[in-house]
Structure 1
Amino acid sequence: MWIGISAFAAEAPKPLFPIPSQAQLAWQELEYIAFAHFGVNTFTNREWGNGNEDPAIFNPTEFDAKQWVQVLNDAGMKMLILTAKHHDGFCLWPSQYTDHSVKKSPWRNGKGDMVREVADACREGGLKFGVYLSPWDRNQPSYGNSPVYNQFFRNQLMELLTNYGEITEVWFDGACGEGPNGKRQVYDWDSYYTVVRRLQPQALIFGCGPDIRWVGNESGVARETEWSVQVVTPEIRKRQWGEHQNGFVNGKGADFAHRTAINPKKHEFMWYPAECDVSIRPGWFYHPDQDDKVKSLEHLVDIYFKSVGRNGVLLLNLPPDKRGLIHENDAQRLRELRAFLDETFKTDLALDATATASNGRDNHPYFDPKQAVDSSRHTYWATDDSVTNAVLELHLGDVKQFNCCLLQEPIALGQRVYEYSLQYWVGGWQKFARGTTIGYKRLHRFPDVKAARVRLVISGTRACPAIQNFGLFQMPEF
C-alpha cells in the first residue's frame, strides 16, 4: 500500500501504531480464502477421529487437486489452507516420523503426497497455500510426554515448512487432551513459532499464535466493532490461548479492545486482525447426508458482509468428498455467491464523484477528498493532524439509487476511526447508517436510498482520519 509522498509534497500522516506488517497487510487484502478439511474422518463419517483408524480406509480414487483450485478460482478465493493433520494424527503427507499417514494407505499405492499435489496445484493456479497442523495427536504414543511430543511436533512442522514451497499461513488450533500416559500435553508454543520464523519468515501464524486472531466463533461473523488493534494481555504473554480466546467467545475481549483502543493509556498494543472461519455445510468434514444442507446464497452473502465487511478475512471451509473432489453442490453455491458479489460491486456509483470535505491535509492535492472516490488502494483523503472530527461529502450529479456502502481506511497508517454516520440530503441531512470501526473494509447494507448528495460524518477517531475508499453500490435482489 502506498502511504508516502515525495519529498516536495506535504507530509503524510504519521502511522498510528500498532500497524500491520507487510505480510499482515497482504493477508488482509486476500479477503476471502478457503479451508479444506480432508482426511480419515471423510471416510469414517466423523468430525473428530480417535487416532486408531486404519490408514487403509483412506482412498480418494478420483482425487484432483486441480479441480479444487478451479473451484476456488471460479469463486474468487485467494488461498487454500489444507488440514495436513487433524486431531486423529493421520498425515496427508508421507511423514518420516509416523506410519499413520498416506504412505500406509492404498491411495497412489502408498506413494502419494497430498500436501505436495495440493501445494503444486495452488501455485500453478495462482493461489496462496497454507497448512493446518493439529497440535493434538490422538495417534502419537508420545503425546502427553510433553518434551518428547513437542520435538515430534516440531519435526513434522519442519517437514511441512521445508518441502512444499512458500507457506502463507500456518494454522494452529488449541485442542488439547491427555496422552496414553494419562498426562495432559503442554505445548511449547514459542518453540513452534521459532520453527515457523526460521523456515518461513513471511508466513503468518493463526489462532494460537501472534499474527492472526480467531474471531471467537465458527459462524464466520465478526462484530459490528472489530479492532485489529489489540492489547498485549497477560494471557497472550503467557501463551494462554484458550483463556485469551474465551474473551472473544463471550464478548468481553471485544469490549475490552474497544475501550482500550479509544483510551490507550498504560497499554501495549499489537496488530492482531480477525479471521472468520465457517463451513459451507453443517460439518467441517464431508458427510453424504449434508449434500442438501449447503448454506443458502442468502446465508453466504450475509456471512461475507459480516466478515470481509467488518474488517475481517473470511475463511470458508469446503470439505472434499470421498472421491477427493469438492462436491458439485458446494461448487455451484460458490459460483452463485461469486455472481452475486460481482453484480453488487461492478458499478461504484460514487466513482469520480465531486468530493468536498470540511478539512484537507495542508490543502494538498495528494490528500484531496477526490482521492477517496478513485477506487485506488494507493490514495486516500486525510485531514490535518489537529482535526479529529470531519465530514466528507459526495456530489453524485444525478440522483442515484443505492443500498450498499463501502468504506476503507489505509490501514498501513493504523486503524483510526471509531465513530461515524452516513447521511443523504433530501431537504435536509438524513442519517441512513452509522458505525464504529472501519479498518480495512466496512460494508453497510440498508434499504434503498435515492439521493444526489451523500456524506460521511466522522465523529470519533484515534488520530486525524484518513479514508482510502468511499463507495456506493446497488445490491441485486436474491
Structure 2
Amino acid sequence: MYVAKPTKQQLEWHEMELGVIIHYCLDIYRPDLLKEAGDWYKTDMVRTAIAPSTIHPTKLDPEQWVRSAWELGAKYAVLVTNHCTGFSLWNTKVNDFSISYTDWRGGGGDICREFIDACKKYGLKPGFYYSTGCNGYYNINDNLRWDYKSDYYQEYVKNVEAQVTELWTEYGDLFEIWFDGGIIPVEQGGPNLTPILNKYQSNAICFQGPRDYTHNVRWVGNEDGLAPENCWATTNAGQARYDGTTPDEKAGEGDPDGIYYWPAETDMPNRTHAAFGGGWGWQENEEHLLYTPEQLLDCYIRSVGRNSNLLLGMAISKDGDFQDEEQFKAFGKLIKETFGKPVAVNEGGYCIDLAEKQKINYVVIREDITDGQHIRGFKIMADGECVYESKCVGHKRIVAFENIEAKSIELVVTQNAGDVKLRDIAIY
C-alpha cells in the first residue's frame, strides 16, 4: 500500500507546533470603510481613503511583537507583509504604497527587516504572508472571478511576481510562506511563483502554495482554532489552494489514503470573531473580546493535539504595538503547566504501568511519521478497559479525560497501513 511521506521540511514544520501570524495593516486606521463599503477591497477606495502619509505609529516596534510571541512559546512567526489593502511593510520598489511613505523611522523604516532581525534575536523561525488574491491598491479581488488573462490582471500578476521576488531575495531564508486563499493556477492566468520559490526559497513551507511546489501545507477549513477529530496529513486534492469547491470539514480532514502529503495548519485570531475584522484586526475598547487562556488551551488541544499546527493571530494596534501581551504570557504559562512535565513516558512502547492508580488528565501519543502516517485506528485502554477510540494519530494526538483513574494505560492499534512506528506515549 502506498503511503505518502513528508519531506524533511514538513517534518520540521510538524515539530514547531505553535506559531503566530502578525497582522498590521492600514484598515485599522479606517474601520469605517468596512462599515460603509462592506468588502472595501472590491473598490478603489484604498488609494484615496488611506494615504500612508496620514498614519503615525508612535510605538511601532517589531521586536516587541516577536518578544511577545517568544513569551507565548511560539516557535515560528509569520508577518503579514501585504494584506488586502495592498499596503507593503517593506520598502518595495514596485509602487508607492508602503511603510516607507509614512514618517516611521523618518520615512526609511522597514518592518520586514526589523521583524527578521528580531526573529534571529529570539530564536523564532520567520515567515512572510503575501496576499495575491485581494489587493485594494490595484482593485483586485479574486473572489469576483476576474478575467484572469485580461491585460489588467496580467499587469497585476507582474507586480505580484516582482514584489514576492523582493521579499524572497532580500531577507534571507524563510521558514514559511503564506498565501491567503491560495494562488490562481498559472494556466488560468495566475502568477508563476513556483520557479521563483524554487530559485530563492526552495526549503520554505508554503501555506496553500502552488500545486506543483514540494513543501505545501493546507488550510484546516475554518478560523476557529479547531482541527477535525481525525485530521490526516495527506489529501487527494489536486492542489493545496482552497477554492471553495470542497466542504470546509472535508478540506480539514484530508484523506488517510491521499497521495499528497499536505498537512493542515489551523489559524485563528487572538480576539473573537465579534472583534474588528473577524478578530484579526485591532480596534480600541475591544479587550473584552480577547480569548481567555483557557479557551486558547482548548484550541491548542484541538489543533496541535489533532495532528495540526496552531497559528495564533496577533492584532497590532494603530500605535504599532502589541497590546495583548498578558494574554500571550498567560496562555504560554498554561501550556507549560499542563504539558510541561509528564507523569510518565514510554518511548517506542505502547503501555505505561504506574506504581499506583492516578488521575489521568491527558494521554499524548506521537507516531513516527518519517515514512508517513501508518496508524488508521486505535484504542486507549485504562486498566484493560477501552476509554477512547479514534483513527488518526500522526505527529501528535492529545486525548483529554475527565474522572479517569488508572494504574495502566495502553495504546492498541486497531487498523494500520504498513508497519507502525511509535515515538512515544505519555500521561499528564
For 1:132-281, list aligned pairs within 5 A: 132-135=129-132, 136-140=134-138, 145-174=152-181, 187-189=189-191, 191-210=192-211, 211-233=216-238, 236=239, 241-243=241-243, 245-249=244-248, 251-253=249-251, 257-258=254-255, 261=256, 264=257, 269-281=259-271
Q: Separation in 2 of the partners of 1:96 and 1:450?
A: 63
Cα-Cα RMSD: 2.3
The one of 455, 466, 469 aligned to 2:410 = 455
> In 1, are the aligned partners of 2:208 and 2:242 still within 8 Å (CA)?
no
The one of 88, 94, 99 aligned to 2:96 = 99
> In 1, are the aligned partners of 2:358 and 2:407 still within 8 Å (CA)?
yes
> In 2, are the aligned partners of 1:419 and 1:435 still within 8 Å (CA)?
yes
**How far 1:58 moved relative to its partner?**
2.8
**How far 1:57 moved relative to its partner?**
2.9
* Alignment match, 2:110: 113
**How far 1:82 moved relative to its partner?**
0.9
> In 2, are the aligned partners of 1:142 and 1:148 still within 8 Å (CA)?
no
- Matched residue count: 395
The TM-score normalised by the length of structure 1 is 0.78
Q: In the alignment, is residue 55 of structure 1 matched against residue 52 of structure 2?
A: yes
Give secondary structure in 1 for the equivalent of 2:29.
helix
Flag the 1:339–1:161 CA change in 2: closer, same or farther, 3 A: same
Q: Separation in 2 of the partners of 1:176 and 1:138?
A: 17
Instruction: For structure 1, list consecutive stretches of 5 or more residues without a partner in the other structure.
Output: 1-14, 178-184, 352-372, 375-379, 382-391, 474-478
Give secondary structure in 2 for the equivalent of 1:115.
helix
The one of 19, 22, 25 aligned to 1:39 = 25
Q: In the alignment, is residue 291 of structure 1 matched against residue 281 of structure 2?
A: no
Q: In the alignment, is residue 300 of structure 1 matched against residue 258 of structure 2?
A: no
Cα offsets for 1:262-293 (capped at 9, x unmatched): xx5xxx70110000000011321111132221
Cα offsets for 1:86-122 (capped at 9, x unmatched): 1111111111010011122122222111111111111
Q: Name the amino acid aligned to 1:72.
A: A
* Alignment match, 1:350: 344
Flag the 1:58–1:412 CA change in 2: closer, same or farther, 3 A: farther
**How far 1:466 moved relative to its partner?**
1.6
* Alignment match, 2:355: 397
The one of 459, 467, 471 aligned to 2:422 = 467
Give secondary structure in 2 for the equivalent of 1:448.
coil
Flag the 1:404–1:16 CA change in 2: closer, same or farther, 3 A: farther
The one of 327, 341, 358 aligned to 1:333 = 327
Q: Separation in 2 of the partners of 1:432 and 1:468?
A: 22
Flag the 1:293–1:206 CA change in 2: closer, same or farther, 3 A: same
Q: In the alignment, is residue 75 of structure 1 matched against residue 61 of structure 2?
A: no
Give secondary structure in 2 for the equivalent of 1:247.
coil
> In 2, are the aligned partners of 1:416 and 1:461 still within 8 Å (CA)?
yes
Instruction: For structure 2, list consecutive stretches of 5 or more residues without a partner in the other structure.
Output: 142-149, 273-278
* Alignment match, 1:386: none
Q: Percent identity?
A: 27
Q: Separation in 2 of the partners of 1:288 and 1:272?
A: 38
Flag the 1:440–1:187 CA change in 2: closer, same or farther, 3 A: farther
Flag the 1:395–1:121 CA change in 2: closer, same or farther, 3 A: same
Please identify the structure whose Cα radius of gyration is greater.
Answer: 1
Q: Name the amino acid aligned to 1:22.
A: K
* Alignment match, 1:127: 124
> In 2, are the aligned partners of 1:197 and 1:203 still within 8 Å (CA)?
no
Cα offsets for 1:347-396 (capped at 9, x unmatched): 32223xxxxxxxxxxxxxxxxxxxxx14xxxxx35xxxxxxxxxx33222
Q: Separation in 2 of the partners of 1:438 and 1:176?
A: 30
> In 1, are the aligned partners of 2:18 and 2:74 still within 8 Å (CA)?
yes
Q: Separation in 1 of the partners of 2:140 and 2:375?
A: 49
> In 2, are the aligned partners of 1:58 and 1:102 still within 8 Å (CA)?
no
* Alignment match, 1:28: 14
Give secondary structure in 2 for the equivalent of 1:419.
strand
Give secondary structure in 2 for the equivalent of 1:468.
strand
Q: In the alignment, is residue 410 of structure 1 matched against residue 368 of structure 2?
A: yes
Q: Separation in 1 of the partners of 2:57 and 2:269?
A: 21
Q: Separation in 1 of the partners of 2:188 and 2:160?
A: 12
Q: Separation in 2 of the partners of 1:33 and 1:108?
A: 28
Flag the 1:454–1:411 CA change in 2: closer, same or farther, 3 A: same
